[in-house]
């Protein structure tokens, strides 16, 4: 029997609802533990690096994170270094409280399982701190930087009814097909210059 859940896509109301916090007893309950396992399988099947409960129809303050080494294959080493991207083991964040430790001025292309087929430049903080509960309901503090910090910011946004399209540089919004065709090999600076220019005729 498949554990994969249906992923909600943009336009579904659950993505615009702030998730409800869970009590420790709820975290430990069989229902929540089953949801975590289903979300893990759904994330790996997609595949993706993060999945928030609202993305699978549950308006709860819960997200799962995992950036597997196999996802880095095919990405040039210099690009991984530039993104500060390293493998992140599977873990759960519940009722997260996010603190930005730097300005949201690091810009990279970002996508989302709830908005398949598109990507855009999104500014994020390079360094963050998150206080939350883990999958056992125990308090946990996460300090993250680089791509891991970006993943956490993206998923915590989901828990607060925010999508990356709310933060993106709007003129950089492209289909994945056109990203691969026109923008993949350009520097972020080149794309950002286009994205920040004034729209002609306005």
Mention every residue, 6+ apart, whose C-beta is less than 8 A from residue 41: 2, 3, 4
93: helix, strand or coil = strand
> HSE on the CB side for 176, CA within 13 Å?
8
- Annotated active-site residue 155? The verdict is yes
> HSE on the CB side for 131, CA within 13 Å?
3
The total of other beta-carbon atoms located within 10 Å of residue 194's CB is 13
User: Of 84, 155, 192, 198, which residue is the catalytic one?
Assistant: 155
104: helix, strand or coil = coil
> HSE on the CB side for 76, CA within 13 Å?
5
For the annotated catalytic residues, the residue numbers are: 155
């Amino acid at each position: 029997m498949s554990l994969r859940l249906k992923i909600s896509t943009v336009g579904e109301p659950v993505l615009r609802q702030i998730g409800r916090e869970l009590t420790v007893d709820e975290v430990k309950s069989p229902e929540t533990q089953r949801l975590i396992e289903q979300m893990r399988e759904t994330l790996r099947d997609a595949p993706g690096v993060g999945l928030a409960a609202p993305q699978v129809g549950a308006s709860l303050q819960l997200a799962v994170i995992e950036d597997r080494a196999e996802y880095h294959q095919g990405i040039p080493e210099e690009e991984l270094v530039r993104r500060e991207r390293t493998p992140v083991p599977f873990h759960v964040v519940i009722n997260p409280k996010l603190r930005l430790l730097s300005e949201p001025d690091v810009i990279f292309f970002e996508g989302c399982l709830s908005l398949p087929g598109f990507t855009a430049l999104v500014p994020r903080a390079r360094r963050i701190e998150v206080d939350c509960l883990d999958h056992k309901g125990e308090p946990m503090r996460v300090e993250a930087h680089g791509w891991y910090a970006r993943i956490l910011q993206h998923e915590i946004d989901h828990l607060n009814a925010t999508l990356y399209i709310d933060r993106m540089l709007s003129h950089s919004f492209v289909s994945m097909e056109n990203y691969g065709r026109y923008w993949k090999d350009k520097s972020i600076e080149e794309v950002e210059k286009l994205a920040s220019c004034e729209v002609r005729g306005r």
